[in-house]
Amino acid sequence: DAGITQSPRYKITETGRQVTLMCHQTWSHSYMFWYRQDLGHGLRLIYYSAAADITDKGEVPDGYVVSRSKTENFPLTLESATRSQTSVYFCASSEPRTDPKNIQYFGAGTRLSVL
């Protein structure tokens, strides 16, 4: 049971480049989330998705694009990377239909450096 996996785990890129972070879960959870974690800010929600083809903005969506064509995948794209997007990115999933607590389960994270 793979659970929720993120790739790559580490990425170095240059300003202006497009970068896509991948997130894949094997539980068929309906909800998926993208967060970034920076010192002093904690986890901040970028985008989330309640089901395939449904996405919504979180607290800090500017500069990011998401899609959810399949339930199990929720890629996050930085269209033109900036240094301020250097961060650790976490993907999470949850399922309110079968879990009354609707607990979020997190991937291992992607550490992104934009030079």
Partner 1 sequence: GQNIDQPTEMTATEGAIVQINCTYQTSGFNGLFWYQQHAGEAPTFLSYNVLDGLEEKGRFSSFLSRSKGYSYLLLKELQMKDSASYLCAVRDSTSGTYKYIFGTGTRLKVLA
Contact positions vs partner 1 (CB under 8 A): 31, 33, 35, 40-45, 48, 50, 56, 58-59, 90, 94, 96, 101-109
Q: Which is nearer to partner 1, 10 or 69 (CB)?
A: 10
Q: Which is nearer to partner 1, 15 or 50 (CB)?
A: 50
Q: Are 73 and 22 in contact (CB under 8 A)?
A: yes
Nearest by Cα to 73 from 115, 1, 10, 20: 20
Please state the closest distance from residue 47 (CB atom) to partner 1, in A. Answer: 10
Please state the closest distance from residue 70 (CB atom) to partner 1, in A. Answer: 19
Q: Which is nearer to partner 1, 81 or 107 (CB)?
A: 107
Please state the closest distance from residue 50 (CB atom) to partner 1, in A. Answer: 4
Question: Which alpha helices (DSSP H) does the chain contain, by range?
Answer: none
DSSP 63-74: TEEE--SSTTB-
Three-state DSSP class for residue 103: coil
34, two tokens: 């993208």
